[in-house]
Structure 1
Amino acid sequence: MNIVQFQPDHAREILNGEMNIGAPANPKDFLKFVDEMVVNGMSFSGIVNGEVIGSGGIVPVYKHMAEVWLLLSGKVYKNRLTTIRNILINMDKMQKKHQFVRLQAAVKASWPEAVRFASWMGFENEGLMRKFGPDHEDYYRFAKVI
């Protein structure tokens, strides 16, 4: 897997292709925010055989806190272990380099795979945010406080 700086076209490639299991039914709303997610040195994509497997990053909110985002294609399952290892390594490096003491993410409440993954990554469910997303569905606020 080759790790490269995230570009908006990476998200478009993922969203226009096969999404990972349980992905929201209308991921196109995500494209409205793609340009804001390009944070130099804090957003990345994993490429295998010329195809974008996934993208993710950290967007600073305050000096001490950042929002984590992740977008995975259905192709991630063929490269599951490598992808997860790279996510953990890169998230940890960025957290330490920028001295974030809080990382947080919004996870769709009706997406059990994503809820389990956030918990597995060491994030704690802080509660339900009703009608939070662009789809007016409920999301959980997950956070990892260091």
Structure 2
Amino acid sequence: MKIIDFEPNHILQITPQKSQQYIQLTIEYGNYLATGDCFTGVHEGKVVAIGGILPVTESRAYLHMIVSEGVPHQWVKLYRATKRLIAAVQDDYIRLETLSTTPEADRWLEIVGFQYEGVLRRVMPDGADAKSYSIVRD
């Protein structure tokens, strides 16, 4: 897998995993993601991951990650890209936050340094619950 700079049209090239199929794959959403710090994972010419950090307020930001169904075992490269991204913004925000809806995402978030906070009920677009995770700077 190759990690490259995100471009808004990459959102039109990814097929999200089943748990993320609610995501609106539009150029408008791609332009929104481009307002933050974002990267794209490409494997064999296909966009298989899009990750980044979007500002929420002056002191808060949100980590997002879209992953293709059947993404190849390239998690070390995604881990390194995510850790680099978190390190690059660590002094910009007091709080990084994100949501998880699968056990695999729970493990991933804990591996990259997030701590579990609790369950947010009916917070997802389909009305599902999600687990809240954060990294809070002292």
Unaligned runs of 5+ in 2: none
Q: How many matched pairs? A: 135
- Cα deviation for residue 72 of structure 1 reads 1.5
1:143 deviates by 0.5
Matching of residue 94 in structure 1 with residue 85 in structure 2: no
Give, in whole Å, the separation in 2 of the partners of 1:61 and 1:6.
Answer: 19
Percent of matched pairs sharing the same residue: 27
TM-score (normalised: structure 2):
0.82
1:138 positional shift: 0.2
Determine if the alignment matches structure 1 residue 71 to structure 2 residue 62: no
**Partners of 2:128 and 2:22 in 1: how far apart?**
15
TM-score of the two chains, using structure 1 as the length reference: 0.78
Is the 2:15–2:48 contact (alpha carbons within 8 Å) kept by the matching residues of 1? no
What is the correspondence of 1:130-141 to structure 2 with a 5 Å cutoff? Answer: 130-141=121-132
| Separation of aligned partners in 1, 2:73 and 2:132 | 29
Matches within 5 A, 1:1-146: 1-15=1-15, 19=17, 23-24=18-19, 27-31=21-25, 33-39=29-35, 42-74=37-69, 76-96=71-91, 99-108=92-101, 111-146=102-137
Q: Is the 8 A contact 1:15 1:28 kept in 2?
A: no
Unaligned runs of 5+ in 1: none
